[in-house]
Amino acid sequence: MGDVVQMHFSTVDYVIFVVLLVASAGIGLYYAFSGGRQRTTQEFLLADRSMRCLPVSLSLLATFQSAVAILGAPSEIYTHGTQYWFLGCSYFLGLLIPAHIFIPVFYRLRLSSAYQYLELRFSKSVRICGTMTFIFQMVIYMGVVLYAPALALNAVTGFDLWGAVLAIGLVCTLYTALGGLKAVIWTDVFQTIVMFAGQLAVIIVGTHQAGGIAEVWRKAQNGSRISGLDLNPDPLERHTFWTLGVGGIFLMLALYGVNQAQVQRYLCSRTEKEAIMSCYAVFPCQQIVLTLGCLMGLVMYARYGEESPLDQGYVKSNDQMVLYFVMDVLRDLPGLPGLFVACLFSGALSTISSAFNSLATVTMEDLIKPHVRPMTEARATLLSKMLALAYGLVCLAMAYIASLMGSVLQAALSIFGMVGGPLLGLFCLGMFFPWANSTGALVGLASGLVMAFWIGIGTVMTTLITSKPRSILLIKAVILASVAKTALYSLSYMWYSAHNSATVVVVGLLVSFLTGKVCFQNTSSTLIVLLYHCEYVACCLNCEMLKIRLEFIGSVDYTDNLLKCFQIEVRKVVLVGLQKFQRKGKTKCNLK
């Protein structure tokens, strides 16, 4: 087995990488000294709620399109075939549900932090627990997202490791702390374009060198890399249509439904309709991203076949294999390797900047403002900027800690997925079950987190014992694979979000019943998702049921001080919806 091969950058490649950093910093400086100059928390944290659909949708896409995904998807396809592409089947419901369930609730409440909802619905203690869980999740994740691609780049190209980490970390901190959410969103737009350009360049050149797309497909078929539809319902199978297409829905809900980084983008939209449309627009973009990753994996297979760079000893891990392929394919085309590296670090920048901004928001809105009063707008804005700066320094510290963790990096990366499920369950408990109380929410969240870490860490430890993993990035291919003998540890990682969120809901409901459920009439209607509010559902419901529920809603006390902040009156929504269906002839019920 040969030594690890290093392919070095040309001057043009370095120039392109520097241009990425300068352009990103320039966008931040522009928004720092233009418009309102980020003088209010509304402008700094929510872009004055003035953003249009297109930039918001591209920012939603870029936020979790990290370097891990850019390197991981092609390696997954190269190693296991195109079964992973069926994850795209989960995108439709995974984005439709947030658009029509979560966005209306958050937007109409005019919140700044998603966790403010938890205090309105449950209690301050639930809000704080949710906030701290999110902070724990993002702080660990952003350090690893910054360090891992830099490590892979260093191993393959000799690119200075800590030079890349410091450059990306400091530039990201600069434009996030100065330009606020507007700068983050518009840099996401720029970085998304760079990500698409970098991947397309590799695919086009690689396909041409392989003899065309038909030849790529033929070699992939001959190598059994074109997967059919696997309808095996076994949840222990790593990838099937059901684990990807159904389990993936819950993963999407955890990301696009209740994650603060995404909720913040919905809230910065000019109108609720534009927020919903931005969520719709993510669907085709996600499909394109997934398809590009699959194509790159197939082109890799067409070039190397069964003799992968990893097996040949040219690289040490799966994540390095993609970068080796890029340098191999593009080495005679100066500038294009630099474009892909810019693509790679654009993924890191977009994820990290979103983390900084969302962390500053929840810390300010959930932990500081409720306990430090009075606070002037100028002081609150300055403190928000300092928080973004502080989290930037924390990210660099976490990157250093990640460098000391070795193979435990895999466990750190999987923490992001382990925490997302319980948080999804907590919000679902509040929105869909009016009788759930704060005690049930707290116990449910704790149970979900315990279950998540039990399964996640247990699977990792079992994997480390049975076979030493070879990748620090491809967590989907290595960390959470079904290798353990214990059925619980063999559960497909794609079911983690569903399993953990269900744990929160079930335990939360049981505890709520045991400790005294909340009376529906004492629960503000705007905090509960009632499916019969939606016209599409109302037409399918039994007419008598609608009349009974309408009478019940009419008894809710709308003079409550909390409801003065709300912009919608549920009773009117139901009446208007029923009247509309009556005019269309879809219902004949008496509205008196």
Please calculate the CA angle 298-303-309 and round it to the nearest 5 degrees. Answer: 100
Q: At 557, is the pLDDT very low, low, confident or very high (cuts 50, 70, 90)?
A: very low
Longest dimension (CA), the chain: 82
Which among 398, 97, 372 has a CA at the least distance from the CA of 258?
Answer: 97
pLDDT computed for residue 496 by the predictor: 86
The DSSP letter of residue 81 is -
3-class DSSP state of 269: strand
CB 24 within 8 A of CB 190: yes
- Answer yes or no: is pLDDT of 189 > 90: yes
pLDDT exceeds 60 at position 550: no
Measure Cα distances from 133 to 139, 395, 401, 502, 534 in Å: 10, 17, 20, 17, 32
DSSP secondary structure, 557-592, as one string: -TT-GGGGG-S--HHHHHHHHHHHHHHTTS------
Which one is predicted more confidently, 516 or 385? 385
Q: SS3 of 51, please?
A: strand
DSSP secondary structure string for all residues of 475-504: TTTTTTSS--SSTGGGS-GGGHHHHHHHHH
CA dihedral defined by 254, 107, 105, 534, rounded to 10 degrees? Answer: -110
- Residue 262 pLDDT more than 90? yes
Taking the mean position of all CA atoms in its chain, how far away is CA 202?
A: 25
Taking the CB of residue 264, how many other CB atoms lie within 10 A of it? 27
Nearest to 427 by CA among 447, 444, 415, 405: 444
Provide φ and ψ at 111, rounded to 5°.
-85, 165
The stretch 300-325 carries a mean pLDDT of: 84
pLDDT at 544: 37
pLDDT, tens only, 212-257: 999 999 999 998 888 878 888 888 888 889 999 999 999 899 999 9
What was the pLDDT predicted at 463?
63
Residue 161 has pLDDT above 90, yes or no: no
**pTM above 0.85?**
no
Question: Cα–Cα distances in Å, from 41 out to 53, 244, 322, 353, 450?
Answer: 22, 39, 41, 17, 35
In terms of average pLDDT, the best of 31-40, 59-68, 195-204 is: 195-204
The yes-or-no verdict on residue 14 having pLDDT over 70 is: yes
Whether the Cβ atoms of residue 391 and residue 361 lie closer than 8 Å to each other: no
pLDDT of the residue at 575 = 47
Handedness of CA 376, 377, 381, 384 (dihedral sign): positive
Structure confidence at residue 460 (pLDDT): 67
**Over residues 362-379, mean pLDDT:** 87
Phi and psi, residue 314, nearest 5°: -75, -25
- Of the candidates 347, 321, 279, the residue with the CA atom closest to the CA atom of residue 142: 347
| Neighbour-count burial of 75, counting CB atoms closer than 10 A to its CB (0-12 exposed, 13-18 middle, 19+ buried) | buried
Per-residue confidence (pLDDT) for residue 419, from 0 to 100: 87
Comparing 5-9, 165-169, 288-292, 454-458, which segment has the lowest mean pLDDT?
5-9
> How large is the average pLDDT for residues 522-529?
61
The amino acid present at 277, given as its one-letter code, is M
Half-sphere exposure of 340 (CA within 13 A, CB side): 29
| Average pLDDT of the segment spanning 12-25 | 88
Give the model's pLDDT for residue 59: 94
Q: Are 587 and 578 in contact (CB under 8 A)?
A: yes
- pLDDT over 90 for what percent of the chain? 35
Average pLDDT over residues 257-261: 93
Question: CA end-to-end span of the chain, whole Å?
Answer: 82
Q: Which of 199, 211, 154 is nearest to 336 (CA)?
A: 199
In order of 129, 218, 255, the CA distances from 132 in angstroms are 5, 51, 17
Structure confidence at residue 552 (pLDDT): 33
Q: Looking at the predicted structure, is the pLDDT value of residue 481 above 90?
A: no
Give the model's confidence band at 270: pLDDT under 50 very low, under 70 low, under 90 confident, else very high: very high
**Per-residue model confidence (pLDDT) at position 371:** 84
Q: Which of 50-64, 510-524, 531-545 has the highest mean pLDDT?
A: 50-64
Q: Structure tokens of 431?
A: 């929105």
- Of 323 and 414, the one with more pLDDT: 323
Q: Specify whether the CB–CB gap between 158 and 340 falls below 8 A.
A: no
Supply the pLDDT for residue 469.
Answer: 46
Amino acid 477: pLDDT: 41
Predicted local confidence at residue 406, as pLDDT: 54
Q: How remote is the C-alpha of 244 from its chain's centroid?
A: 16
Least confident of 38-42, 156-160, 474-478: 474-478
User: Letter for the amino acid at 96?
Assistant: L
Determine the pLDDT at residue 528: 66
Taking the mean position of all CA atoms in its chain, how far away is CA 423?
Answer: 13
CA-closest candidate to residue 501, choices 261, 145, 255, 263: 255
Could you tell me which residue, 12 or 543, shows the higher pLDDT?
12
- Report pLDDT for 36: 63
pLDDT at 501 over 80: yes
The encoded tokens of residue 178 equal: 């100065």
pLDDT value at residue 588: 45
Percent of the chain with pLDDT over 70: 78
C-alpha to C-alpha distance for 531 and 101, rounded to whole angstroms: 9
Least reliable range by pLDDT among 64-73, 111-120, 339-348, 494-503: 64-73
Per-residue pLDDT, 230? 82
d(CA 76, CA 64): 18
Rounded CA-CA distance 108/115 in Å is 15
> Span 341-351, mean pLDDT?
87
Phi, psi dihedral angles at 51 (to 5 degrees): -85, 145
Number of other residues whose CB lies within 10 A of the CB of residue 539: 15
pLDDT, residue 318, reads: 75
Q: What angle do CA 255, 441, 533 make, to 5 degrees?
A: 65
Q: What distances in angstroms separate CA 146 from CA 222, 260, 361, 405, one per listed residue?
A: 37, 20, 21, 14
11-511: in CATH 1.10.940.10: no
Alpha-carbon radius of gyration of the chain: 25
pLDDT value of position 547: 36
pLDDT at residue 276, rounded to an integer: 95
Residues 87-138: tens digit of each pLDDT: 999 999 999 999 999 999 999 888 889 999 999 999 999 999 999 999 998 9
Poorest-pLDDT segment among 12-16, 114-118, 467-471, 494-498: 467-471
Domain segments of the chain as ranges: 11-511, 530-583
Over residues 461-490, the mean pLDDT reads 52
CA distance 48 to 396: 29
**Could you give the 3-state DSSP secondary structure of residue 340?**
helix
Over residues 335-349, mean pLDDT: 87
pLDDT at 17: 85
